[in-house]
Chains A and B, each alone.
Chain A
Amino acid sequence: MKNRIDKQTLIQAFKASLPTLAGYTVMGIAFGLLLANAGYNFIWAGAMGLIIYGGTMQFVAVDLLSTQASLLQTAFVTFLVHSRHIFYSISMIDKYKDRGKARPYLFYSLTDETYALVNMPPEEGVDKAKYDLYLSILNQIYWICGDMIGALIGSLSIINTEGVDFAMTALFIVIFMEQLMSTHDYVPAVIGIAVAFICLIFFGSENFFLPAMILIVTALLFVRQFRNEETDEDDK
């Protein structure tokens, strides 16, 4: 199967990807700065952008790296932070049915932003299969470039990066607000914050993460029994 790059489609995909060009570059740079701050260079940043490719998770990974977390904890944290991708992928199974060799990559590259973009219809007459693939690849290129640029700036130490770790806090605050505004179901949000806070007090800042996550999943499954109608509500 010899595939030539379709210029028209590439231009269409590039236009659609402009918001992520801005967003991923800035977020990528913030991540790169943070990673360099923890003592890892641009090769690490680029590799993580390539084989992890997830904003939130890569920020958390900086913490896992600097505390040299156990692999069990790492696996568990990754599962929880990325569990929403199960839902994204499931909802794309039908749409990505006949994509041949590109299929695994299309699923792998379904970040929040890419998921949103491939679900917006392109202009008439565009080859959707190629368009989705180009869009997915372009987004990941922006992300990897941002990651590496940030790590390079960070390791040059031309600027004092003390406090740059607040980028992670700010990212989570914004995502949290965004999710609060798009739902009427505040129970999971309250469970997340309350359980984490209680665990922080009981287990201390070093050890609360794992028990907090286990208890959050338990609590979410527990409350599910009492609120079956709401689980059918579709807000995506």
Chain B
Amino acid sequence: MKMINSILIVLTISVITILLRVGPAWLFPADKPTPKVLVYLSKVMPIAVIGMLIVYCFRETEISTYPHAAPEIIAALMTIVSYLIKRSTIISIFLGTVVYMILVQFVF
């Protein structure tokens, strides 16, 4: 049951993804203007959705009890500061993740 539901979840994501990526090629011929509301949403959605996803990632984080989200805060700062310095996605993700893993496994 879990297996079937998991397959259905993956297939659903795949179908919607294909519709979004290949669909416009069928729907909007090159010579016709795209509906303005779609152009607007595709411009403002990414940053809003990513902002929401960041909140989503911290949804289970407990700030009131020990260790008061210290691993999350330290690792997030590590990611942010290293990105400001190096501007490298890979280095920042790697550093943030490794620091977080060390903190939750050995420190707190």
A-to-B contact residues, CB < 8 Å = 22-23, 26-27, 30, 40, 44, 47-48, 51-54, 56-57, 60-61, 64-65, 68-69, 71, 74-75, 78-90, 92-94, 96-97, 103-104, 107-110, 160-164, 166-180, 183, 185, 187-193, 195-197, 200, 205, 208-209, 212-213, 216-217, 220-221, 224, 231, 236
Contacts and interface: CB of A to CB of B under 8 A. Distances in A.
Contact of B10 (A47, A54, A104, A192): A47
A170 B92 contact: yes
A107 B24 CA distance: 9
Interface residues of B, number: 68
A60 B40 CA distance: 24
A30 B97 contact: yes
Report whether over half of chain B's contact residues are helix, strand or loop; otherwise say mixed. helix
A189 B71 CA distance: 25
Report whether over half of chain A's contact residues are helix, strand or loop; otherwise say mixed. helix
Given A79-B16, A79-B20, A172 B54 contact: yes
Interface of B: 2, 5-6, 8-14, 16-18, 20-25, 28-30, 34, 36-60, 71-72, 75-76, 79-80, 83-84, 89-90, 92-94, 96-97, 100-101, 103-105
A103 to B, nearest CB: 7
